[in-house]
A and B are shown apart, each in its own frame.
Chain A
Amino acid sequence: MQGIEAIINGKKIVAEPGMTILQAARANGIHIPTLCDHPVLKPVGACRVCLVEVEKNPKLMTACSTPLNPGMVVHTHSPRVLEARRAVVELLLVRHPLDCFSCSSNGQCELQDVAYELGIKESRFADEGDTCRSYTLEDANPFYVRDMNKCILCGRCIRTCDSLAQYHAIDFQNRGIKTMVQPPVGKDLENSDCTFCGQCVQMCPVGALSEKTSIGQGRPWEMEKVKTVCSYCGVGCELNIHVNRKTGRIANVKTDYTSQTGLNEGRACVKGRFAWQFVHSDERLTKPLIKENGTFREASWDEALNVVVGRLSHIREEHGPDTIGFFSSARCTNEENFLLQRLAREVIGTNNVDHCAHL
């Protein structure tokens, strides 16, 4: 396929046919700031942060939604572009609370990044009419919190719900300055089509949506990501466990929408994303237990293993290996299942080994 040639910031570039200006710029290592764009979502040109100057076009154009044409001459950081981009961001900031230090998104907020990049400290429009909204914090469900005061109406959540979650639980409601993202009129989130898969939360570029399960668990920059696979159903979604090394605890679970290895294309459900607190439950077993006279007492590993081995050996000698049975687990790893059936077959000498495949 013939590449498309164009000029961005004076540099000749080649891009694949069908690419937008933004995609072509990224493919050639040229940075254009964005807010409403995400690589796996359909571009809509809502936020206007990616405005660029295209020669011979009187108006600035959104790089995310404008196809690159052969011979285009594009300026991504011309004075005119920068002035417009600043105005766009400052207008967003008029209605965005600047409580960054207590915001869960601090450090991963894309609005913060764009403002920083453009050298904006405060909005010059701040005292002109409409100021911050005062929506009530919505935290009725145990999965995520909505703070509509922080919403920049980029619509990433709506597109995520539509195309990745395949629901349409939320959409824009009302008009003008009253526009907000909502479940259908008269329904709260908990009674809408929302299945709390939390994909919109991960997609939110600001702190309008945040995981309730990770409040206070650590700052984004403190997290170490460990790639793994979900422990629930058989789909096998690739997940990233975010570990806070200071506490040694899981702080969040997210996915990677651009992963080359995941089978789930970045998708995950309510269990994959939000049902990990059991790991740190106070009810976890931490010591071997031996039952005596109907009640458990704690024991050392040495003692517990000796009891198990002694009594298994005794039963095998007394009654034969086939009076012993093993239940393995579809929850455990392949390695563990492999060793359990070897324990049954090689060490005890019975084929009485099964698991809950049918249950």
Chain B
Amino acid sequence: MTNDFKSIKKADVLLVIGSNTTETHPVIGAMIKERKKNGAKLIVCDPRKIELAKYADVYLRQKSGTDVALVNGMMHVILRDNLHNEAFIAERVENFDALKATVASYTPEKVSEITGVPAELIEEAARIYAAGPNSAIFYTMGITQHVTGTNNVRTMANLALLCGMLGRPGTGVNPLRGQNNVQGACDMGCLPDVFTGYQKVSNPEVREKMKAAWNGIEMPATPGLSVVKMMEAAGKGDIKALFIMGENPMVTDPDTHHVRHSLEKLDLLVVQDIFLTETAQLADVVLPAACWGEKDGTFTNTSRTVQRVRKAVDAPGEARADWEILTSIAQRMGAPWTFKSASEVFDAIAQVTPSYAGMSYARLEEGPLAWPCPTPDHPGTPILHTEKFARPNGKASFSPCEWKAPHEWPDEEYPFLATTGRLLYHYHSGSMTRRSAPGEFVKELYVEVNPKDAARMNLSDGDRVRVTSRRGSVEGKAKITDRVPPEMVFLPFHFGEASANILTAAVIDPDSETPGYKVSAVRVEKA
């Protein structure tokens, strides 16, 4: 998020797109509802009639996979009616002409045809967002999990820049990150092309710095492979060993059948986890790890805020904290690592990571800190881009994008569009929530089907349905609801025994390498 949570209270307009906030980020959902109740305007864009749609001043029900067109259409209206922020653009943004050229053809009428949203609603949403005075955008995986995900995100940024909705309380482009420490894992350099703090592995100076800090070892210069690419390479035999810490790709990665094939082909699969997950079952060696509540450390949340997590109870049996296991492995491979506590590891992070350089456990004891926090006396940065953008000249640049149809689109053989997502009661592969109270509340896969489609198929609530894509087929209980539009079904992906990801394709966005989970063409029939 460019902004912090307090900023929500200052927003005059909240634009929520591709985020079922009240289920996936319930506390931010509550903050958004509270702000709406206290007078802000709410625009919701989502193919599913999510709870927030009930409270929206304008609800746009775009077809899944048409977000770029929808927002280009809004920008078209803003430019046509001269509602953009001329002064902000002149002072802080480049490449304006290119944006104008791109969105010129996205008339509300044309966009309406692509998205299925009535032209007048596109106009209304555009006017409300531009009028602000402070408008904030919130999005989640409904924006990113598309083969055009990067362009979807760029388009959100274009809209905010066009109206000058960045760098102030109440504004911002705010991706709501789905996992407790997904921000932190990225910040820590668990990405194939960057070290900690997004320092490029391709930059020789950065590699020299890491070499000096990390025992004089030469750092590899070529960016590595992403999760999806590693899986592909494993399937071809180009990756021989995988070391998986705390992930369950057998449930969470696209195209489950292919994932199984890839993992089985490996010479060595090591899984470090808290349960014998679907993935761990395929491992050669399984290392038992301590879980939440059993170890010290830090998490970095969606607003870039670093907070301490603390050990409350001992890990069961011989399970050990992941950082201890990793240290043991490194030591046995000859690395002179000496970490004795999570706090010492944190100091090593601060040493090589400019955005964390001013943080320490002593400071975090007093309260959370948002990065960048470059020096020990720096208060942290709850709001980004207040004066400058993170480019050499300090200016942002519009990155105009054309809308492209998704990798797969319903056709005669597979006439439905399936989309996947999370439920309030469960979390990801379900290995934690299904072993806790929510597991007794929502026990199995269900498939949301529109009443019109249900009537045509003679389907009643609770009947078994089979959903089939070009990759495979799953069965679940039908839940008949107008939350999904006709010819669309929704499947939560938490249930390993009926994994929604059997349906999804390992087709990825070329820049972010994120799979296009939100669009699969499927057939739906009574089972």
**Which A residues form the contact surface with B (CB < 8 A)?**
141-143, 163-166, 195-197, 212-213, 226-238, 241, 243, 248-250, 260-261, 263-264, 267-271, 274-281, 283-291, 296, 301, 304-309, 311-313, 315, 319, 321-359
B456 within 8 A of A: no
Whether B25 contacts A234 by the Cβ 8 Å rule is yes
Which residues of the other chain, A, contact B37 by a CB distance below 8 angstroms? Answer: 166
Whether A250 contacts B437 by the Cβ 8 Å rule is no
* With contact pairs A166-B30, A324-B240, A330-B179 given, residues A305 and B329 touching in the complex (Cβ less than 8 Å): yes
Inter-chain CA distance A332–B295, complex, in Å, is 10
Which residues of the other chain, A, contact B346 by a CB distance below 8 angstroms? Answer: 334-335
Whether A323 contacts B240 by the Cβ 8 Å rule is yes
* With contact pairs A229-B308, A283-B435, A357-B191 given, residues A141 and B286 touching in the complex (Cβ less than 8 Å): no
Whether B301 contacts A284 by the Cβ 8 Å rule is no
Which residues of the other chain, B, contact A213 by a CB distance below 8 angstroms? Answer: 437
Which residues of the other chain, A, contact B242 by a CB distance below 8 angstroms? Answer: 324-327
Instruction: Identify which of A276, A332, A334 contacts B245 (C-beta below 8 A).
Output: A332
Inter-chain CA distance A315–B312, complex, in Å, is 39
Whether A287 contacts B219 by the Cβ 8 Å rule is no
Whether B144 contacts A341 by the Cβ 8 Å rule is no
Instruction: Identify which of B219, B345, B513 contacts A338 (C-beta below 8 A).
Output: B345
Instruction: Identify which of A163, A274, A333, A350 contacts B436 (C-beta below 8 A).
Output: A274
Inter-chain CA distance A290–B270, complex, in Å, is 10
Which residues of the other chain, B, contact A263 by a CB distance below 8 angstroms? Answer: 4-5, 301, 303, 305, 307, 368
B490 within 8 A of A: no
Tell me which of B73-81, B119-127, B182-190 binds A. B182-190
Instruction: Identify which of A195, A313, A315, A352 contacts B333 (C-beta below 8 A).
Output: A313
B89 within 8 A of A: no
Tell me which of B39-47, B221-229, B392-400 binds A. B221-229
Which residues of the other chain, B, contact A330 by a CB distance below 8 angstroms? Answer: 179-182, 184-185
Whether B438 contacts A334 by the Cβ 8 Å rule is no
Instruction: Identify which of A195, A315, A332 contacts B241 (C-beta below 8 A).
Output: A315
B328 within 8 A of A: yes
Whether A341 contacts B274 by the Cβ 8 Å rule is no
* Sampled A-B contacts (24; CB under 8 Å): A166-B37, A195-B424, A226-B312, A232-B179, A232-B432, A233-B427, A235-B302, A236-B180, A241-B312, A268-B27, A278-B435, A281-B275, A286-B318, A308-B243, A313-B333, A319-B240, A323-B239, A326-B242, A333-B299, A334-B181, A341-B189, A346-B214, A354-B192, A357-B185
Known A268-B27, A275-B432, A312-B241; 19 more pairs at CB < 8 Å? A141-B441, A142-B438, A166-B34, A229-B309, A278-B436, A286-B317, A307-B285, A308-B243, A325-B233, A325-B239, A326-B242, A327-B227, A328-B190, A331-B179, A334-B184, A334-B188, A354-B226, A356-B249, A359-B515
Whether A286 contacts B252 by the Cβ 8 Å rule is no
**From A162, which residue of chain B is reached at the shortest CB distance?**
B37
Whether A234 contacts B301 by the Cβ 8 Å rule is yes
How close is B23's CB to chain A, nearest CB, in angstroms? 8
Whether B437 contacts A212 by the Cβ 8 Å rule is yes
How close is B299's CB to chain A, nearest CB, in angstroms? 5
Instruction: Identify which of A228, A271, A325, A347 contacts B425 (C-beta below 8 A).
Output: A271
Interface members, chain B 192-228 (any A CB < 8 Å): 192-193, 195-196, 201, 210, 214-215, 217-220, 222-228
Whether B27 contacts A340 by the Cβ 8 Å rule is no
Which residues of the other chain, B, contact A274 by a CB distance below 8 angstroms? Answer: 436-438
Instruction: Identify which of A288, A291, A352, A358 contacts B318 (C-beta below 8 A).
Output: A288
* With contact pairs A301-B318, A331-B180, A356-B252 given, residues A279 and B309 touching in the complex (Cβ less than 8 Å): no
Inter-chain CA distance A350–B218, complex, in Å, is 11
* With contact pairs A232-B427, A340-B245 given, residues A286 and B316 touching in the complex (Cβ less than 8 Å): yes
How close is B419's CB to chain A, nearest CB, in angstroms? 15
B300 within 8 A of A: yes
Whether B425 contacts A264 by the Cβ 8 Å rule is no
Inter-chain CA distance A248–B315, complex, in Å, is 10
B137 within 8 A of A: no
Tell me which of B96-104, B319-327, B405-413 binds A. B319-327
Instruction: Identify which of A212, A234, A248, A345 contacts B220 (C-beta below 8 A).
Output: A345
B26 within 8 A of A: yes
B33 within 8 A of A: yes
Interface size, B (range)? 35 or more
B514 within 8 A of A: yes
Whether B210 contacts A286 by the Cβ 8 Å rule is no
Which residues of the other chain, A, contact B425 by a CB distance below 8 angstroms? Answer: 270-271
Whether A264 contacts B27 by the Cβ 8 Å rule is yes
Whether A288 contacts B240 by the Cβ 8 Å rule is no
B234 within 8 A of A: yes
B114 within 8 A of A: no
**From B227, which residue of chain A is reached at the shortest CB distance?**
A354
Inter-chain CA distance A282–B26, complex, in Å, is 29
Whether A228 contacts B312 by the Cβ 8 Å rule is yes
* With contact pairs A235-B25, A337-B190, A351-B222 given, residues A286 and B288 touching in the complex (Cβ less than 8 Å): yes
B255 within 8 A of A: no
Instruction: Identify which of B185, B275, B301, B327 contacts A332 (C-beta below 8 A).
Output: B185
Which residues of the other chain, B, contact A335 by a CB distance below 8 angstroms? Answer: 297-298, 323, 342, 345-346, 349
How close is B38's CB to chain A, nearest CB, in angstroms? 11
How close is B515's CB to chain A, nearest CB, in angstroms? 7
Which residues of the other chain, B, contact A164 by a CB distance below 8 angstroms? Answer: 30
Instruction: Identify which of A196, A226, A260 contacts B310 (C-beta below 8 A).
Output: A226
Instruction: Identify which of B220, B239, B276, B433 contacts A275 (C-beta below 8 A).
Output: B433
Which residues of the other chain, B, contact A248 by a CB distance below 8 angstroms? Answer: 313-314
* With contact pairs A261-B368, A304-B285, A306-B332 given, residues A354 and B308 touching in the complex (Cβ less than 8 Å): no
Instruction: Identify which of A249, A275, A334, A343 contacts B299 (C-beta below 8 A).
Output: A334
B457 within 8 A of A: no
Whether B227 contacts A322 by the Cβ 8 Å rule is no
Instruction: Identify which of A250, A296, A308, A346 contacts B313 (C-beta below 8 A).
Output: A250
Which residues of the other chain, A, contact B178 by a CB distance below 8 angstroms? Answer: 233-234
Which residues of the other chain, A, contact B244 by a CB distance below 8 angstroms? Answer: 326-327
Inter-chain CA distance A235–B368, complex, in Å, is 13
Whether B196 contacts A291 by the Cβ 8 Å rule is no
How close is B275's CB to chain A, nearest CB, in angstroms? 6
Inter-chain CA distance A353–B311, complex, in Å, is 27
Inter-chain CA distance A164–B243, complex, in Å, is 42
Whether A275 contacts B437 by the Cβ 8 Å rule is yes
B463 within 8 A of A: no
* With contact pairs A283-B275, A333-B323 given, residues A338 and B333 touching in the complex (Cβ less than 8 Å): no
How close is A355's CB to chain B, nearest CB, in angstroms? 5
Inter-chain CA distance A174–B322, complex, in Å, is 55
Inter-chain CA distance A271–B218, complex, in Å, is 44
